[in-house]
Amino acid sequence: MTRVPFKIACPAIHVLLLLGILAYGLITKPTVSHAQESLRIAAIVNDDVISAFDLHSRTLLIITLSELPRNQQTVERLAPQVLRLLIDEKLKLQEATRLGIEVTQADLDGALVMSARRNKMTPERLVETLESQGIGVETLLFQAKAEIAWSRIVPLKYGSNVEISVEDIAAEQAKAKELQNQPMFLLSEIVLPFDNPSKSQEVRQQAQQLIKEMLNGASFASLARAFSEAPTANNGGAIDWIRLDQLPEAIAQIVRTMRPGQVSTEISIPGAYIIINLRDIQTGSSEPQQSIVVDLNQFHLPLPSDASQETVNSYMDTAALRTRDTSDCEAFSDVAKQFGSPLSGRLGEIELTKLPNELSVIVSGQRIGTPSPPIRTDDAVVVLMVCNRIEPETPSDAAEKKKIERRLFGQRIAVYARQALRDLRRAAYIEVR
């Protein structure tokens, strides 16, 4: 087949055939014929192949993590958008290869841990859950690899073009002081850009479809990770606390009419449609203060939720015995590595407010370097040690300026990121079959 630019669509009959193949795979048992169909080529991206199987697996992943109905209708709705995502990811990874940017196994291991944490699972449980739905963990890691690579490509190529002047920071500080008693809004976003005006209606329909999925119970954060093309996608679309004057006027007009927990309609801005989730509002004060941060270490023994009380007691005694003589985090880590599961070890710095309430109560009053009593969770017995406690401080002028600089840099580099992806699409030869 002759290669054609990406903007030329495949014949409608091919799209319908591919959707039929995917839907068939969801509701029937695998057969030789289905296995053969899964090896069909869905798209070619500069000599890299996206198979029908790749498209099938990613669609299932999104359905599973977004808690969408697993049926033919859902597949048909999502498949065109998922194929576009896979094409973009191929382009990002190809650009990473060209620039010599490597994503290591340690990067991917960290991405798996973060994904498990977001879904309130252990990594092992997440892998088991995906496999039970016919999804290999490599499907999740391929997406992570592309996004990690892209997060390094854009600053490398365009970071030197972004200049934040002293005057820029001073203007932001003056505005913040003037408006310090204005409400603050905690938002999440899904950004769906389009390359040219001819694609506007198509992308708008995609935004409307995602809103329908959320109204039917789909997770905003999961859909943001899957479909948003903003730098916030990896965080489920989460934006920090922000004032209305810091938003584009089209978005600010919508947000001021919303209630916490509400999802907006699709919002048109130049070159994109945006969906906003208003998570919370802080009124009558400046930016909310941060909570206490603790650096935690964990001794972990996996234990099923249906374990007998006798077994639970035995595990609790073992955890207490193994950790009782540790008096610092180094000794605790040695014991955790020797006697605990692979999930034992440093958990890193975590805000107290982000811990489950029962753990927050224990950790908040715990002395540094002292093991906690054994704690029974849904799937384990754990002992926690606080290695460090960081009390929130009133930010210094220098810290405040640095925060403003990071925010302005993020806003401006995001413009380059969208342009960079548009350039890759336009330069690429892509066949959609």
Same domain, 61 and 165: yes
Chain segment 225-235, per-residue pLDDT in tens: 889 988 888 88
From residue 128, give the alpha-carbon distance in Å to each of 75, 109, 380, 382: 22, 16, 16, 21
Task: Specify if 397 maps to a domain.
Answer: no
Rg of the chain on CA atoms, in Å: 24
Which of 8-17, 68-77, 403-412 tops mean pLDDT?
Answer: 403-412
DSSP 163-229: ---HHHHHHHHHHHHHTTTS-EEEEEEEEEE-SSGGGHHHHHHHHHHHHHHHHTT--HHHHHHHH--
On whether both 44 and 107 belong to a single domain, the answer is yes
Burial (CB count <10 Å: 0-12, 13-18, 19+), residue 90: buried
Whether pLDDT at 7 is above 90: no
Judge whether residue 118 has pLDDT over 60.
yes
Nearest CA to 374 out of 325, 317, 308 is that of: 317
Same domain, 353 and 415: no
What average pLDDT is seen over the chain?
84
Q: What is the pLDDT of residue 4?
A: 41
Q: Are residues 298 and 332 in the same domain?
A: yes
Same domain, 320 and 191: no
pLDDT of 80 reads: 86
Quick one: pLDDT at residue 339? 92
Checking if the pLDDT of 415 tops 90, the result is no
pLDDT band at 393 (very low <50, low <70, confident <90, very high): low
Cα–Cα nearest to 371, from 385, 391, 357: 385
Could you give the percent of the chain with pLDDT greater than 90? Answer: 40
Residues 157 and 40 in one domain: yes
Region 17-33 average pLDDT:
45
**Confidence check: pLDDT of 20 > 60:** no
Strand partners, 263: 277
Q: How many domains does the chain have?
A: 3
Confidence of residue 46 (pLDDT cuts 50, 70, 90): very high
Q: Are residues 8 and 49 in the same domain?
A: yes
pLDDT surpassing 60 at residue 262:
yes
Flag whether pLDDT at 330 surpasses 60: yes
pLDDT over 50 at 332, yes or no: yes
Among the ranges given (206-220, 263-277, 283-297), the one the predictor scored with the smallest mean pLDDT = 283-297
What is the pLDDT averaged over residues 297-325?
Answer: 92
DSSP line for 314-364? HHHHHHHHHHTT--SHHHHHHHHHHHS-TT-EEEEEEEGGGS-HHHHHHHH
CB 400 within 8 A of CB 173: yes
Tell me if 15 is assigned to some domain: yes
Residue range of the domain that includes 134:
1-180+405-433
Does any domain span residue 227? yes
Q: What's residue 19's pLDDT? A: 44
Cβ atoms 88, 428 nearer than 8 A: no
- Domain presence at residue 40: yes
Flag whether 13 is in a domain. Answer: yes
Asked if the model's pLDDT at residue 316 lies above 70, the reply is yes
pLDDT at 32: 45
Report the CATH number that the domain containing residue 241 is assigned in CATH. Answer: 3.10.50.40
